[in-house]
Structure 1
Amino acid sequence: MQEWEEWIPYGPSLEAEGFSQLKELSIVNCSKLVGRLPECLPSLEKLVVRNCEKLLVPVSAFPALYRLEIDGCKEIVQRSAANLSSLSSVVLSDISSQVFVEQFMQRLSKVEHLKIVGCKELTFLWQNGIELLQTISQLHRLEIKRCPQLLSVVAEEENQQQQWLACSCRLQYLELSDCKCLVKLPQELHRISSLRKICISNCPELVSFPETGLPLQLRFIEIGGCKALKSLPEAWMSTTTTTTTYLESLSIKYCGSLLYVARIQLPMSLKRLEITSCHNLRSLIDNNEAPIICSSSLEYLDIRDCSSLTYLWPKRELPVTLQHIKVVKCSKLESIAERFESNTSLESIKISQCENLKLLPDDLHKLYPLSKVFISLCPNLVSFPEGGLYCKNLTEICMIGCEKLVALPMSSTI
């Protein structure tokens, strides 16, 4: 309905009595539609407005509204005393005024999902006023995207921050993306005990995370495009009587300044680690004299396009629990491990585009669970170890583009 220009009222009162039972309303790509929506929609529960640049939207007029999505309109109209307590899901896109966002959020008391996209003036989501922070006690999911002036989620006044954390005790998912001025996260983030997943992407000014532990329920962390990030807090990695982490999955991508993942050890609970396009990464563990980290729970390791990576672990040993390892396009890596002697779990090995790889560990034949070996485009791989590939569970071997490899060991069987 791109040619729609005017909302035609129903009945002599110039209101919309004819839609008194309307529950869902979507108005999309009506760029010529002017005026405002009717205010007499008492049963409206879901309202979606997208790309209606000339339309006024009176959201405070709908007492039953629980889901609101507005992306591009002339103005959102709200009465000063309006109660928006029925709203549980709110998506606001391309809202230019931070003042409006603050005033609007003051009236939210039961919102569970809040997504703000493209608010060009937003510097803090919660900036001042304890009463403002008390309105979000039900929040489960918070997403902030494409807010170029955002410096932090909450202003740093201590009383406000503590109040925000107390009110956010039900928050489970936090996502911040494409916020080019974001420099920090709340220092007391670890106190949000309900938080299960954090996603931070394309925030190039974020230098570090708070030097505190992780929330007790946090299981998944995804970090991408944080070009200034050099390391992760050591408090995330260690397990002591005062700090216990249960992190299961960690993904880091396109963080060009990252030198290492952990200084001494990875979280003991970590099962999955993915690292992509971190070109300054030299090792997963920084300290070459650190104790052997074979007591971790890591099961899946995927490393891609890390051109400075020279070795994986100190002592050149892999965790005993590791089941799948994938290393792709790591040009300086000479070996994935010195030996497999202590590993009893490895099922698959995939190595590709590692130009410096010359040898595989001598005790490769001791990997009894091993079922798949895939090696491609490793031009300096000279030979397999003398022990061969005598693994009773081995079902697949694929070798592509290994120019210096003369033959497989005689003892290799499939």
Structure 2
Amino acid sequence: MECGYTSLENFELISCDTLTHLPLDFFPHLEHLTIESCPNLLSFSSDGLPPTLKNLSVRDCEKLVVPLSEEMKRCYTSLERLMLIRCDRLTHLPLDFFPKLESLFIDCCKNFETLSIADRRGLQILTSLKSVRIMYCRSMVSFPQGGLLAPNLWGFELQSCLKLKILPEQMQTVFPSLESLALHDCPEIESFPDEGLPSNLRSLRISNCKKLVDRRREWGLQRLPSLRRFVLRDDEDVGDSFPEEGLLPSTLTTLWIENLSNLKSLSKRGFQFLRSLTSLLIWGCPQLRSLPEEGFLASLEFLSIWCCLNSKPYPKRDFLTPSLS
């Protein structure tokens, strides 16, 4: 590779099957680096990554070792967005290496086990972090002990983390700005943190988290004054009537229930205090037989029932298209 690229800011490297090492010394001002489908790439140059880098995306580089030694900390001081997909050599990620990180996405890294903190005194470096998504990391087992202090985090999503049992500790304290929480296919998670969820939470989505749903009476959603949207999907054991009285807060405006295979009816008592609810979506509940006939959600503006073969016709009303954000 020749010199002469000292002003280069964007670099994409895609489908270079024979490349084993990537020297980046020639790009001292590089800001955006994308590497895809380089199955034999083993490492970057000995100097690591340019310290000017803001956006790093690595996909389908099964042999690549992301440099995470203490000496390489300087390489990540400007990084704002990090995406790692199918990077099988990745086992952990020390978040205090990334003082300006805003967005983190880890997907299908089969040996990834944990987010970590190398220096416990450096927790305040997570003040830039706004979004974390970890998906299909089926070896993931933990978060750092004591939680992750990310005061500006607003979006947090976990999907198909099959071994993970515990959510980050003290979420109410360490994620005070959290607005959206999504948990999909995390069957070993049993409960929310003891102190509850952040009070600013506006959207909660839960899908196929059997142990967590079995303990739903302990969720304490009534303590969430900002919760507007709740989605429950893919649960076979939620029972034949939903929701239980007092499960959902009166602030809720959108309720979406989907693929609850044993659901037969909606509980009038469970809905009686949902006076703010304007949108109700019921999808893929084949045993649903009826809705409450009287006093059912005078506030409702939108009702969608789809693939619920046994449900009886509901009296005609004029419904407006909802905002599901």
**Relative to 1, partners in 2 of residues 1:150 and 1:261: Cα closer, same or farther, differing over 3 Å?**
farther
1: CA distance, partners of 2:227 / 2:57: 33
Q: 1:232 aligns with which of 213, 216, 219?
A: 216
Larger Rg: 1
Equivalent residues of 2:83, 2:106 under 8 A apart? yes
Equivalent residues of 1:106, 1:131 under 8 A apart? no
**Pairwise CA distance, 1:308:** 4.3
**Pairwise CA distance, 1:127:** 6.6
- Provide, for residues 287-329 of structure 1, a one-character-per-residue CA deviation record: whole Å limited to 9, x for no partner: x7x587155200011112224445556x953122111222234
Q: 2:93 aligns with which of 90, 102, 109?
A: 102
Q: 1:116 aligns with which of 101, 106, 127?
A: 106
Q: Which residue of 1 aligns with 2:322?
A: none
**Relative to 1, partners in 2 of residues 1:244 and 1:118: Cα closer, same or farther, differing over 3 Å?**
closer
**Relative to 1, partners in 2 of residues 1:77 and 1:206: Cα closer, same or farther, differing over 3 Å?**
closer
2: CA distance, partners of 1:292 / 1:300: 13
Q: CA RMSD in A?
A: 3.0
Q: Which residue of 2 aligns with 1:32?
A: 18
Aligned letter for 2:38? Answer: C
1: CA distance, partners of 2:29 / 2:71: 20
Q: 2:303 aligns with which of 322, 325, 346?
A: 325
Give runs of aligned pairs for residues 355-366 of structure 1, distance below 5 A: 357=312
What is the TM-score normalised by the length of structure 2? 0.83
**Relative to 1, partners in 2 of residues 1:37 and 1:316: Cα closer, same or farther, differing over 3 Å?**
farther
**Pairwise CA distance, 1:53:** 1.8
SS of 1:320's equivalent?
coil
Equivalent residues of 2:217, 2:247 under 8 A apart? no
Aligned residues: 310
Equivalent residues of 1:237, 1:266 under 8 A apart? yes
Aligned letter for 1:304? Answer: W
Determine whether 1:296 maps to 2:283.
no
**Relative to 1, partners in 2 of residues 1:30 and 1:132: Cα closer, same or farther, differing over 3 Å?**
farther
Q: Which residue of 2 aligns with 1:196?
A: 179
Q: Which residue of 1 aligns with 2:202?
A: 219
Q: Which residue of 2 aligns with 1:70?
A: 58
**Pairwise CA distance, 1:204:** 2.9
Q: 1:371 aligns with which of 306, 318, 322?
A: 318
Percent sequence identity is 25
Q: 2:225 aligns with which of 205, 230, 245?
A: 245
2: CA distance, partners of 1:62 / 1:301: 50
**Relative to 1, partners in 2 of residues 1:179 and 1:284: Cα closer, same or farther, differing over 3 Å?**
farther
- Structure 1, gaps ≥5 residues long: 1-8, 11-15, 331-352, 365-369, 373-414
Determine whether 1:51 maps to 2:30.
no
- Structure 2, gaps ≥5 residues long: 320-325
Aligned letter for 1:149? Answer: S
1: CA distance, partners of 2:270 / 2:36: 56
Greater shift in the superposed pair: 63-72 or 227-236: 227-236
**Pairwise CA distance, 1:141:** 0.5
Aligned letter for 1:75? Answer: L
Greater shift in the superposed pair: 74-83 or 298-307: 74-83
Give runs of aligned pairs for residues 135-214 of structure 1, distance below 5 A: 135-152=125-142, 154-155=143-144, 157=145, 160-161=146-147, 164=148, 167-191=149-173, 192-210=175-193, 212-214=195-197
2: CA distance, partners of 1:329 / 1:233: 28
**Relative to 1, partners in 2 of residues 1:119 and 1:209: Cα closer, same or farther, differing over 3 Å?**
same
**Pairwise CA distance, 1:63:** 2.0
**Pairwise CA distance, 1:251:** 1.5
